[in-house]
Structure 1
Amino acid sequence: MTRKTPDRQAPTRQPPDDDAPATLDACRRCALWEHATQPVPGAGPVDAPIMLVGEQPGDQEDRAGLPFVGAAGRMLDRALDEAGIERAHVYLTNAVKHFKWEPRGKRRLHKTPAQREVAACHYWLERELQAVQPRVVVALGATALRAVLQDNDATLERTRAPVRTEDGRLVVATYHPSYVLRTRGADSREHAYRTLVDALRTASRLARERRHGGGRPTHGDAG
């Protein structure tokens, strides 16, 4: 069964206040909702073995209300295909659910969310993690990694191997597909792309191992 989690409209038992909003549409935990078209919830099977977490929706995602539908999404689709993973079998979401942007002429350009905005939106990410219970979480980029690990000092450079969080989640960190797109030089871009594909393959292998109870996953920390 495939559905969005958390549901933007479905009622919950959470109290209806700013600290524990019942739906994404009602969320006022930070101010990003004021300038976004709409919140962008995660999408994918509620029992997906792999969850991919990006930074935030982009311009096209903000308009469509779906994650990873723009250029970065197409790059991710290509990498997933090469890694042997069907997009329909993974859960896609972002650490921040509203598009943060700044105007540049008629364009809306991405602006990196502040730590307080990422922290405010962890309420929703944690609900998704609890609902899906993925075997492996892939953090796409540094913002996603810090959100998943709840460690503002975490870096991709220091998280080269899969790590296990204190609550037992297995995390694989790699580049965000938008980073691959921005990388200058054919050789450097190809290296970044290969790094992304290799991380997705690692996540797929670890998910299979955890399913069958074999192959102990790598332990480590982000420090």
Structure 2
Amino acid sequence: MPERPTGRPGRRVTAVPPALAEVERRMVELAAATCPPGFGPVLGEGDPTSPLALVGEAPGEREVAEGYPFAGPAGRLLDDILAELGAHRMQMWLTNVVKCRPVRRDGERLTNRPPSAAELAAWLPLLTAELEAIHPRCLVCLGATSARVLLGRGFRLTEQRGQWLPGPLGTRALATFHPAYVLHLEPHDPAASRAARETVKSDLALALTCLSQAGTP
């Protein structure tokens, strides 16, 4: 079995609970059986005791190289927005639905692609087990893929983002644009990119109220 990427030292602010360690062992096994060598897994990071978890789609090239989620440009944008809101990623748990990088061949290059239905189905039970192990009160779905996995196939991001909805396992969940979408817009439509960034910031500001309400029933 290949060794799991460990990421940078200190990427977790508390010891991993035994239940989460067992789930991550199963994730490594699934990755060894289904993912090409060198494409993951990239496991979660942050505070596994936090009441707030952010769930993205899948790791990209940078995430696989660094060994932790949201390590590339989209992650830096996420960090910038959180900083503007007075928060830091290590106050929450960050993970992805799929833990291995999905790729397609584009000539001589491998590029990212959305996870297939089969990949989502394979990883969903372990995402559910991961959330059961850390039992957050609130979820943020970053992007449409995460939202449809966690909130149902009929979820419409542009219409339903930015509002608390009943989530899985008794959580409250809201969805917002993935930071990668904001970056994708930038070269083509800078105004739309700026607007999307402000939308993400507004939605995350709402999500961060879960941290301030951590002690409330």
Q: Please state which band the TM-score falls in when normalised by the shorter chain.
A: 0.7 to 0.9
Deviations 1:139-172 (A, max 9, x none): 00000111222x2222212323210136421001
Q: Given the two structures, how large is their TM-score scaled by the length of structure 2?
A: 0.83
Deviations 1:27-58 (A, max 9, x none): 16984x02653201111111112111010001
Aligned equivalents of 2:198, 2:116: Cα separation in 1:
29
What residue in structure 2 maps to residue 26 of structure 1?
29
Matches within 5 A, 1:33-112: 33-34=35-36, 36-112=38-114
Q: In structure 1, what is the Cα distance between the partners aligned to 2:120 and 2:33?
A: 9
What is the distance in 2 between the residues matched to 1:166 and 1:56?
19
Q: Structure 2 vs 1, CA of residues 4 and 147 (structure 1 numbering), >3 Å: closer, same or farther?
A: farther
What is the one-letter code of the residue matched to 1:211?
Answer: G
Q: 1:2 aligns with which of 14, 25, 28?
A: 14
How far is the alpha carbon of 1:99 from its aligned partner?
0.2
Residues 1-223 of structure 1 aligned to structure 2 (within 5 Å) = 1-3=13-15, 10=21, 12=22, 22-27=25-30, 31=34, 33-34=35-36, 36-149=38-151, 151-160=152-161, 161-165=163-167, 167-183=169-185, 184-209=188-213, 211-213=215-217
SS in 2 for 1:171: strand
Identity of aligned residues (%): 33
Report the CA distance between 1:82 and its aligned residue.
1.4
Q: Is the 8 A contact 1:3 1:43 kept in 2?
A: no
| Aligned residue type for 1:24 | M
Letter in 2 for 1:73: G
1:121 positional shift: 0.5
Deviations 1:159-209 (A, max 9, x none): 232101364210010000000000132211110001111111000114423
In terms of fraction of residues, the more helix-rich structure is: 2
Q: Retained in 2: the 8 A contact 1:180–1:189?
A: yes
Structure 2 counterpart SS, 1:137: strand
Distance apart, 1:210 and its partner CA: 5.2
State the distance in 1 between where 2:18 and 2:56 align: 16
Quote the Cα distance in structure 1 between the aligned partners of 2:80 and 2:29: 34
CA distance in 2, matches of 1:133, 1:7: 11
SS class of match (2:170): coil
Moved over 3 A (4+): 3-8, 28-31
Deviation at 1:23, TM superposition (A): 2.6
Given residue 189 of structure 1, which amino acid in structure 2 is its aligned partner?
Answer: S
Paired residues, number: 202
- Partner Cα distance (1:7, 1:179) in 2: 33
Counterpart AA for 1:157? T
Match in the other structure for 1:221: none
Q: Is 2:139–2:167's contact at 8 Å kept on the other side of the alignment?
A: no
Single out whichever of 154-163 and 77-86 deviates more from structure 2.
Answer: 154-163
